[in-house]
Structure 1
Amino acid sequence: PQGKRYTIKESERIVKVIKKTPIVDGTGIKYVLEKSVVKYIDTQTDIVFKGKKALVTITVDRFGMAEGLIEAGCEMTFGDLIFSLNIPIPLHSFRSIEIFARLLLPILVYVPIKYLYPTGEKQEKSNLKYVKYFQDADIIAGDYLGISQYMPEDMGGKTIITNTITSSNVEDLKKRGVNYLITTTPEFEGRSFGTNVFQATLVAISGKSPEELQPEDYLKLIEKTGFKPRIEKLN
């Protein structure tokens, strides 16, 4: 559930080695940032979310984005069981996600990252096993590596909401027919970095430690920087 934090033990061991440099992983801003981006798109642009079918690939890592899409009137499919555990059962309610999180996350934090997230050569491999969930959706939201691993060649007319994307990724999405690309983090020289980089930038601007900053502080900093989500019509 939103507000409850689970840390993968493998990454926790790495963090413990670092003694002086402040460490951020993006979770400090992800909820408020992604929810505010969806609200901005829904209320300040001509892109229509209401009544559209939205797939969030991994929801437990993107509660803010999922809540924003629900509030915008989307018909939701949550792919946590499908894309993290290889169990072909789509979830459609926030209640089912909360149950999934409470029951399984305390166990999954002990699983090596390579089994939960594509790393190394796996990032380059395409898996069309669950392509139907992409075909059924108008909007696909989530981490780009997760999306790119499972998306079909034909993505005609779809909207992608993501981050950590490069200019070559954008060209690939354009070739597949994606209509709109929306990134929740700033674009720099054709690349949209992860929320960890954006949070680190905001922490540096604030002059404070990550522990001193609350979600509302990050929203003020985001407003101060003049950040607007990247909205790119590809086709």
Structure 2
Amino acid sequence: MSWNQSENNIWVAGHRGNPQECPQNTMASFKSAMEAGVDMIELDIQMSADGELVIMHNFTVDETTDGSGRIRDMTLKEIRSLDAGSWFDKKFRGERVPLFEEFLDLGKEYPNMYYDFELKEYPENGNESRAYETADRVIAMIEECRLADKCVLNAFSARLLWYIHDKYEGRYKLHGYYPKNLLGEYDRDPYDILYCACVCEDFTRENFERLKQRGIDTWAGTRFRTREMIETAKECGATLITCDNPREVMQILRDMGLHR
């Protein structure tokens, strides 16, 4: 398999799976997106109090389960006891917060899938060891599954991206953001090591071109969900759209002749 997205073949990444139709970051959401035919799955990884890698975007379970509390303060048993589906629709009652390992097992059924793994543990405010351990363990599992050439590693932390670049000698594709201030504090320019960046503000061809001139592939985020915004993404030179409504976005792109 090869990375073949381009301005004329814009890929679609399911943001936390298919959250328009399923509760985000659940196995139901991932399966729905994969079955819909997305090119990539984006998901978020955190560590429980007892060191297990779980998939959730928010730092607390309050908004997407029937429980309350911070992920980092809860054991896996406590997290897995929660209902992660009913808040979205009662038909999803019983969905659980997934383990990263469970997701990787699901991915084996979809050999053509690509991945955007967002690391939510940041090396700041005393969280350095957890952040680096999480990154190292995620990478170890990626390597065990032989997915190194089929994923990007993503973080809103330049320090964490530099840590991965240095320790793994540039072997991993790194995903960052534009504008640069979204990447927190840094001593070294994160744009020196990025494979791609999601443009989150100022959607102009000039801003996209500035990134491309530095060798950074330009991706579009969840605001690009309508025909009008997708046309803007095309005009700006985006090669991938990460979206909450992947089925709709894929159909729009196909109607425009931009998704195979």
TM over 0.5: no
Normalising to structure 1: TM-score of the pair? 0.36
Normalising to structure 2: TM-score of the pair? 0.34
